[in-house]
Amino acid sequence: MRRIQQQRPNSKVGVVFPILVVFLFAVFTGLPEMVGFLRPIRPLLVLGSVGLIALALTGRFIKVAMSPIGKILLLFTLWFILCIPLAIWRGGSFNMFAEYWLKSFLAYVLTAGLISTVAQERKIFHTIAYAVATLACLALGFHYILHYISVDGRLSLPGSRYANANEMGWTLLIGLVFQGFLYLRGGTARKATAVVLMIPVFIAIAKTGSRGAVLGAGMLFLFVFFQASAGVRARLIVAVPILLVVLVLVVPSELRNRYTTLFKAEASMTAAQVDAFNSSEARLELLKDSILVTIKHPLFGVGPGNFMVAQSDLATARGEPYGLWRVTHNTYTELSSELGIPGLLIYLAFLFQCWRTLTTIVRRKHVSKDVRVMAQTLRAAFLVVVTVAFFDSYGYDANIPILAGLVTALSFIAQAQRASKNAPGKSAESSLPLPEADFEPAWSGPPY
């Protein structure tokens, strides 16, 4: 097999690449929101703006926006804008665009545009792995050292974007995937580091009380188990039961009760179980109402961020004193009710394109082992996304576009490696003394 030529970073982009490292570390830890004197400065906005200016000067902004994934996200953005003047509360929809989706789209462009080499992509994988471990340690520190306990007893990080336990739970779960990459592609010391980092993340996920995150973790385990080599499967069979026992011991009884009650009530329920069941009942009502809103407004929906208003109107029409005033707790019906069926279909096309791109990379013969394992890691992350999306509203969340940015950057890297497969003379990244991957390709076949 011919060697894959090692890539050189784009000199202009390489200068500002550290901005992306700091930006993503800040996003996945939530630190800027917690440090009081940083809030007025808005460091994420400053970092993002500098990075986007650099991309515009190098021309990579257009390259990223015109990629297959970028085009679909642009289409989704245009549809989003089109739905704003047709919303039942235009001010709320405009705020949702300016404060959430626009920043999420720009985070995609920033992530995809500031990565040009395997080494840089690997650095970002490691950054996310360390960032979520920091997030878990911060939250556990608030809990055990400062004795902070939320009203419902669930772990969260007050004063940050992770003040919501569900948001924190699914972010930790995504980060766990990148810690898995740290383990798979590292030597003995890095493998040990990855295991140490996973411990607080596992504990923190369990303590969030997020049933969606737990179900997502189960799906992640099945994916890893069936994609892994025989040796890794054997280690998982031994390690997972031990891990479950440990988590049961460290999780408070009220959270254990929350996990045991998902869909039905029993006469002998404890107070904590009743609260958890009532939460499930409320989610079921929200799901039904979001489907009803979709049926009533199938083309443009009720406007981004307006489901709570529409649900309150439905509740009042039924004779109820007030609505639940909560989000749909389902990403797919969030999009269909607020952006109509076309908005949902565009978003599903976006997710499918991300998966398709990653599958293409896995199938390619002329890419390095690191690139192939990165693609499998991102597929695991997207499997988490599509699973947890059934249990909460993440349609405008920045985490998913950031993952998509990593996919786009990886596709550019894979294309460059394929184009340079016949280039003579330079040392190959595939010939570096890296350990063999512990994953097996999910599909075999010719390069796409």
85-102 tens-digit pLDDT = 999 999 999 999 999 999
Q: Residues in the chain, how many?
A: 448
**Angle formed at CA 78 by CA 108 and CA 331, multiple of 5 degrees:** 65
**CA–CA distances in Å: residue 148 to residues 138, 168, 203, 252, 263:** 11, 16, 16, 15, 30
pLDDT of residue 234: 83
Query: Of 362, 418, 377, 394, whose CA–CA distance to 104 is shortest?
Result: 394
Q: Is the pLDDT reported for residue 385 higher than 60? A: yes
What is the pLDDT confidence band of residue 423, given thresholds at 50, 70 and 90? Answer: low
DSSP tag of 243: H
Q: Are 307 and 323 in contact (CB under 8 A)?
A: no
- List, for residues 224-263, the tens digit of each pLDDT value: 887 777 777 888 788 778 877 777 777 776 666 666 655 4
Lowest mean pLDDT among 27-31, 111-115, 312-316, 417-421: 417-421
- List, for residues 188-225, the tens digit of each pLDDT value: 899 999 999 999 999 999 888 888 888 888 888 888 88
- List, for residues 398-416, the tens digit of each pLDDT value: 999 999 999 999 999 999 8
Residue with tokens 């902070």: 148
pLDDT of residue 11: 57
Report, as an integer, the average pLDDT of 11-16.
68
pLDDT of residue 332: 96
pTM: 0.86
